[in-house]
Amino acid sequence: MISSTTSLGWEEFFLSVAHWLRTFADQHWPLESDGSGSETYLAMHRLFKSFPFRADVLLLDTDGIESPLKEGRYAAAIRYNISPTSSYHVIFHGIIPLSDIAPYEALLKSVLHIESEDAKSSLMSLSLRSIYARPHFVHIVRNDPRNSPALYAADLALHLPDLKDIFSSRTDFNTRYNLQPDPILDESILLEISRAAAGFFPYTRKDAIQRIQEDVSNIQLISHIPEHVHRAFLIAKRLYIFGLFEYHFFTVSAHYCYLAVESAIYHRWNLALPNPTVLQYGSDSLSVPKTGRRSIEMICKQRGWNKSKTLVNGRPYPGRVGQVLYQLHQDKIVSDWQHRRLRDVWMKLRNYHSHLEFVSITGPTDTLERAAEVINTLFDSVKP
């Protein structure tokens, strides 16, 4: 074993790393004022703030090896026992030469659990960075980490999140309440025409699938309608088709029709914006090229503006769909009748289906066809 002429200082090093990891956790996974947060965030904090763990340390002498990954005379391999019950304890196992590791194979196996030829080769070339063997984790760096605890902590922080489940207190409700998994259905049962849908379509599956696709195949949106509106409407059509097998999908299809109409309203407002558009917040103003609601929200966030107090071409930024419709009505883009129907029918139905207390049931109706007409009418006057 090569003797070390440097002061080890590993205990002090790991305590310094612990400080940086605590700071990292506070910055990246902020908790509420009472210390609460998502279980993922809480697990991250438990993990990062439980450091330092028991650690077995090897310094790796890189003298004599040719590798473009070398960052100094020494690299380091540290094996942690990542466990909530792990007590802080450091064992330094000395320095081994990477250019001649054969005499140290027993040490590599006992300390780092490295025994395969591929792992040894990767270690010697410094391309091996980590080994996960829960609850143990081997972290390999290409320098002596004691030279910069902060940089080491930043590198370690990239690996630790993969171990957060060890510190999770997530409740297993299936076990607590003895909940049983759903039965795994055979394909013939899963794709069986539902009894409710059978009253509207041919009895045989092949004929029913043919018929329901024919019913919606001609319901189309005009081509220059924005992509996201098309996407929402396509989902609505697919859900309608699969309502054959799960009757409640007809209801979800109707919901997506209302969402597609809402998306169309927002995009129609975007298209009505002049180029350039002037944003004003108090005495501060900004002229931007062709934009939209989402872009305006991002600009407000970046500049620290309250979007509800931001003017868009002299009018309040419309944060809600009702305000968007009001401005479209002001601009004569929608008529009095369209405004009332969109506000009092379509958006009320969207709200009703989005904010559930009781689940409604909608059968195979003409909602798709009516939604397509409403959306197409909104964009009919827009030049492709």
At 86, is the pLDDT very low, low, confident or very high (cuts 50, 70, 90)? confident
Cα–Cα distances (Å) from 24 to 154, 161, 210, 250, in that order, read: 8, 12, 57, 47
CB 346 within 8 A of CB 194: no
Q: What pLDDT does 172 receive?
A: 93
Res 214 pLDDT > 80: yes
> What's the predicted TM-score (pTM) here?
0.74
> Please, how many CA atoms are within 13 Å of residue 182, restricted to the half-sphere of its CB?
4
Q: What pLDDT does 201 receive?
A: 87
Residue type, 140: I
Q: What is the pLDDT of residues 232-244, one digit of tens each?
A: 999 999 999 999 9
Burial (CB < 10 A; 0-12, 13-18, 19+), residue 27, is: exposed
Q: What is the pLDDT of residues 280-297, one digit of tens each?
A: 999 999 999 989 999 999
Helices 227-242 & 205-217 angle (0-180, nearest 10): 150
Burial (CB < 10 A; 0-12, 13-18, 19+), residue 280, is: middle
Q: What pLDDT does 32 receive?
A: 97
